[in-house]
Structure 1
Amino acid sequence: MRSFDPSSDPLRLVVFDMDGTLIDSQHHIIASMTRSFERNGFAAPDPASVRAGVGLPLEVIIGSLLPDISPEQCERLVQDYRGDHRARLDRGERHEPLMPGAREVVERLDAAGYLIALATGKGTRGARHALEVHGLIDRFVSIQTSDTAPGKPHPGMLIQAMNEAGVEASATIMVGDTVYDLELARNASVASVAVTWGYHDRADLVSFGPGAVIDHFDDLDVEVERLLAS
């Protein structure tokens, strides 16, 4: 990961969600969930319902898809899903493409002096793998995952990212594609930017009152500058 000088002034932090924001991972998520369900005797889940839960803890997603299952069944499904993901990673089968403009905006913000962090529902291994595959891990000063903090929308990921970077909430922006990202930002008293190319509808994003809503990564730089200047 990137090293940084905590005495630099001013410090400004941009925290990205991963799935649906930086990378398009829905196909792998849906495939692993489907295999986990079928191996445990359940019908394949509705892809749109799986996509709507991306970003939440696995047990919460599975519980919403199968509300009548026991805690033991839910845990088996969680472990089966994680095992499927790990196996695909070990076989080198998980290619999760960057969203258009993602690389360029991360590089621009980094070059402009912003600190860059990640707050994702992914596990640490999968998150680091995705950043390494795309040659971006050195741009990030903090990587917060489901292994390092409570799941969204608990503010822990953002709080830990800000603590590691030495940046106050007033100088931090959360960028994400779901209402869980926006609620995370709200719970951490951080401004947010919603992106519309991910897994939640624009209307749902707007209803949470983000500081900005953008349709292309090229629009992020100016909105980050505007929000941090206000």
Structure 2
Amino acid sequence: MRLAIFDVDGTIVDSAAHIVDTAQYVFRQNELTVPTDADVRGIIGLNLEVAMLKLCPSLSENEAEALAQDYRDHFNNKIENGLIEEQLYDGAIATIETLAGQDETFLGIATGKRLRGVERLFKDWGFGHHFHTLQTPDNNPSKPHPGMIETAMSDTGIDPNKTVMIGDTSYDMAMAKSAGVKAIGVNWGYHDHSTLRENGADLVIDHYHQLIDAIDELTG
């Protein structure tokens, strides 16, 4: 048996434009220096409170929490008014369905996205039933802390040497290394090939059709 754990933003769904727009809006509304597109893309995958502190280190923890809540409120308001439609990357659902059809493979999620957002994505696209464990910031520390992966392995009973993390950022790769599992970087997300390798990726792939072979290679 083996466990394949997926990140969400930048790995399954391309949500960068909406994340950048929302972050810049709340910084502008709070009369703070507005981060660049690149700066915002660089923090995707972190818990929002941690992300806000990275974008503006002068914030207190309470101010970062308030800014994160402003972000959530604005993002959710856009969703409720039909202004956000998150698009999946080509091949994502087909690959997930193929893996889910393998008796030896458990699937998991480990994401900086809140549970509410993950459940909305599952409802919109109808593939949530394939996942056996779902780890979000609602009940875990922020990446790159290994807690999400450790809980996913505990939920499924899979050992580290049969577990692989699939993600698009340095935080995913560092989290995998901290948890003692293999890491596959995807080159279609928000951190580049070199950054993924430097932070512990065992393999970096360019297309979803390469993922199953990569998982086979790393989990034996």
Say yes or no: TM over 0.5: yes
The CA deviation at 1:176 is 0.3
Provide the rounded CA distance (Å) in 2 between the counterparts of 1:92 and 1:164. 35
Change (3 A) 1:41 1:204: same
Q: 1:21 is matched with which residue?
A: 11
Query: Paired residue for 1:98?
Result: 88
Deviation per CA, 1:87-137, whole angstroms, max 9, x where unpaired? 233334331111111111101111123111100001000011112211110
Question: What TM-score, normalized to structure 1?
Answer: 0.91
Q: SS of 1:146's equivalent?
A: coil
Give the letter aligned to residue 196 of structure 1.
Answer: N
Q: Which amino acid aligns with 1:36?
A: V
TM-score, length-normalised on structure 2?
0.95
* Structure-1 separation of matches of 2:210 and 2:169: 18
Q: Does 1:198 align with 2:200?
A: no
Native 8 Å contact 2:164 2:215 kept in 1: yes
Q: Does 1:127 find its partner at 2:118?
A: yes
Cα separation, partners in 2 of 1:92 and 1:163, compared to 1, 3 Å: farther
1:167 maps to which residue?
158
CA contact 2:3–2:164 (8 Å) conserved in 1: yes
Tell whether 2:129 aligns with 1:138.
yes
Counterpart residue identity of residue 163, structure 1: S
Secondary structure at the counterpart of residue 149 of structure 1: coil
Q: Which runs of 5+ in 1 are unaligned?
A: 1-10
Q: Deviations over 1:192-230 (max 9, x none)?
A: 10001000011111112322110001001111011111x
Helix, strand or coil at the partner of 2:122: helix
Cα distance in 2 between the residues matched to 1:147 and 1:211: 28
The alpha-carbon deviation at position 153 of structure 1 amounts to 0.6
- How do 1:143-162 and structure 2 match up within 5 A? 143-162=134-153
* Cα separation, 2, equivalents of 1:70 and 1:142: 33
Say which of 56, 60, 64 aligns to 1:70. Answer: 60
Which residue of the partner structure matches residue 88 of structure 1?
Answer: 78
Q: Which of 43, 48, 71 in structure 2 is aligned with 1:58?
A: 48
Q: Structure 1 CA distance, aligned partners of 2:90 and 2:11?
A: 10
Give, in whole Å, the separation in 2 of the partners of 1:157 and 1:82.
21
Aligned Cα RMSD in Å? 1.3
SS state of the match for residue 198, structure 1?
coil
Structure 2: unaligned runs, 5 residues or longer:
none
Contact 2:50–2:142 (8 Å) recurs in 1: no
Q: What is the one-letter code of the residue matched to 1:47?
A: D
Partners in 1 of 2:198 and 2:61 — Cα distance?
32
| 2: CA distance, partners of 1:31 / 1:136 | 27
CA gap 1:65/1:204 in 2 versus in 1, 3 angstroms? same
